[in-house]
Structure 1
Amino acid sequence: MKKFSCAMLFFCGVTCFSVTQRQVKQLHKEISNGLISIRNDHPDSQEAVYNVLDQVGRMYAYATQSSVDGENMEFELERIRNENESLRRSCTQIKNKLIFITNELESVRGREQDVAGELDRQKILQEEAEKKVADLQDSLSEAEKKIAVAPPPEKVEKTEPEADAKATKKL
Structure 2
Amino acid sequence: MVIVVMGVSGSGKSTLARALAEAWNWDFQEGDELHPPANIDKMRAGLALDDDDRRPWLERVAAWIAAELARGRDGVVTCSALKRRYRDRLRRAGAGVRFVCIELPPAELERRLRRRRHFMPASLLDSQLRTLEVPDAAENVLVMAGEDATEDIVAAVGRWLEQDDAAG
Greater C-alpha Rg:
1
More strand by share: 2
Bigger RCO of structures 1 and 2 (CA < 8 A, at least 6 apart): 2
TM-score for both structures, normalised by structure 2: 0.23
More helix by share: 1
TM-score for both structures, normalised by structure 1: 0.22
